[in-house]
Structures are given as structure tokens and as C-alpha cells.
Structure 1
């Protein structure tokens, strides 16, 4: 019974307390009234390694999201910076912040790995869990620390965002195909929702609103599922040293080369 209760609570929320944190955990916190979440890797001792755009660099996706998605860099009044982190509001790329700056007043959530397909689909909102397996905490922290020193490339909301960074640190997986969305469940959910809406001509297959709702929700779930990093076949495990050594090359090209060598 306790197991089922925990599973039910997990479907509703992944919220955890700071006392439950372990080094190597993939954590996130919702921003802008739950429009999107900011992700990072807990490094221990109250520190989080995360990937973000700096303030003033938010615009540029070319979509309506530019009106809502702001920088996730830690923000404090200029005359009162964080005593641990200093003023990081203008920084971008991979950075290390205290957990208070990372959360920016939000709640703490744990991103879950190796979930079942049923659990995954029950979490209607993307960017909270994956079917993929996580590597050991040692491997996760090695990747995160290495990228903290060497960078993770340019920020791209659909192909190289904070969730992509955290998932790569946890799994070492990169997407091979350059035309598809990255590893991010948030981006995949956005694309899935847009695809489901764009497929509204399927309304002609049903005459009722409930029937249309079933068709659209079914398409949304299928699209989310096949886009998950734990299901996709267009991925390859890439050592972080190799990723950094070819920093000027598209990540998809690096993953393709690794896949061809295997």
C-alpha cells in the first residue's frame, strides 16, 4: 500500500526537501508561473551546476515564447548580491550557484529516471521524468564539473537548453539527428502539443468534442513518448572529453561519429 501511495504522490508532484538531496541528483524549479522549469545538477554542499542564458539574452527564439521565457541566471539587486555567489545575473553558460540562487524563490523538485511508460504518460507535463537510465553519481558529477570548466556550447531553447544539459550529465546521451528536438522533455512537450493542435483536421474523424479530445490527447501522448531520450534510437553515448574536444562541431555530428564507430 505504501508503495502505491508513493507512486501516486510521485505522479502528482516530484517536490522534495533539501535534506533528501544527494550529489548527482537532477533537480529543477518552476519559473514564470509554471510556464517552464530551470534544471541543474546538485553538486553537493549546497551547490548546483546549471546551464543558462544571461539576462539580456532572452529574446531570440523567434516564437511567442520570447514573451514569457526569461533568463534563469540568479538574480539579486545590484546593491545586494548573494554573499556566496556574487552577482551572476549577467553570466551565461554553465555556472555553479548556491541552491538558493538556483531556486530563485521557487520550490525544489527531483527529475526522475528509469520510470515506467505508464508513469511517464501519467505525468502529462513534460520535463519531469524520463524512461532513460541514469549513470552513477560519480559519472554525473564528472560530466557536470568538466562542462563547468569547459562549457556546453550555445544556449538553444529547443536543442541545447538547461534540461538538455542536465540529461546529458545524467546519461551521456546526445541526439544524432540535427533536425529533431534535443533531449529536453519540456521542448518535446511543446512540440507535441503544437503537433496535436496542428492535427486538428482529425476532428473530421469524430463528431463529438469528447472524441476530438481523445484523438488530440492520444497524439500528444504518443509524440511525447517517442521523443523521450529513453526510447529514441537516434542517440549515442558521447564521452564528455570528446564533446568538449570538438566544441566547435554540432553535437549531433559528434554523436553521429561516435555511433558510426560503435
Structure 2
């Protein structure tokens, strides 16, 4: 580059875009060319999109159907996806993907044995007292007004609410109760409540394993069937699906 060009470039004036005048400062910053180009491009892009959507709306067939319409709805002008109910829980998916039917059956058998053992320890007397029950007595009309339930059952009036462990008056005189303080009674009650909670968890676990076992067995039968079975009822987190298999005559 010659010295003359260098000198001309050094003295070249830098043209800058003017700023917002003092009298118009209340209107904000003055839009520059780069800002205008971005705003104009965004405006034209939106216009093209609206033009395409308008054309699709005019060309739409009112009798058109596609399967996604079943899983979506338009409510108050807004499109909403229908939330599908999960067929399996996370625990069911994990066991079904990592274990086989024999393992599930073994774990279910273990839970059933533990449930039986806990029930034999508790005797379930508290649950028996909480369940509603009726006991009908047939008496004469003149005995209705003066009917004494405690006398009829031959027990103490304080024991009438019990359905189990309700001794007779003759047996109450023979019973010798041990001396137990209030602290011991509270400890025994806490221990019993703890066993009941464990029993409840075991029962829920056994039901969960039963559902998993049923789902895995049905899936195996469906895959091995020569003729595709018809699904009668869809499965859920608490129930296995129900299929109707076609009868195949054996030779």
C-alpha cells in the first residue's frame, strides 16, 4: 500500500449513527439499522408462518382423521394432550426388566409365609373389634322393654363391646390378672402397633408381587400364542391386562 493511501486512510472520517436527541430522550434509545433489520426479519418470518397456516386451514378436509385426535382435546381454544395412565409402576418396570417369573414367585412365597407368621402372632383381634357386625336376639313382646343384654350373654356390661375374648361371669372370678404397670402396657402397645405396620407393608408388597407375576405370565402367554389374542381389559398399576384367547383344537 502506497504512502498516499495510508495517509488518506488515516485521515478518513468515521461515520457514526446519531444518538437520540436530547428533546426525544423520554422516548428511549434511538433504533439503529441493525435493530431495524432484526425487527423487520422477525416481522416477515411471522408473516410467512401465518400465510402457511392460513393456507393449511383453507385446504383442510373437515372429514380428516388421524389417531392423535383420540389422545388430545381442544378446550377453550387451547390444545391439551390427554395424560395417559401408566400401566406399570417404577418398581414393576424394574422387576419385570431385570428378573424372571421364578424369582418373583419365590419372593411372593416368602412374603406370604411372613404374613402368615405375623397374623398368627397378632391373632387380628383388634381388626375383628373394628369391623361392623350384628347379633339378633329373638324375645317375646313382654321382654323387649326389660331386655338385659349383659344378663343374656352372661358377662359384665363393660365387656359388651367386645367380639372376642368376652368371658362369662363365672369365668371372671377364676381369672387372676398379673400386676402390670402403665409403662409396660405402653411398651406392649407400641410393639403391637409396630408389628401391625410391618404386616400392612408385607400385605401390600405381596399384592404388588402378585400383580407383577400375573403381568409377566400373561405377556409370556401372549408372545407364545399362535393366534393373536384379543385384549378385553387394559392393564393398570394394580391389575394385569385381560386377554381372550382363541380356542385352538388339538390334534
TM, length-normalised to structure 1: 0.21
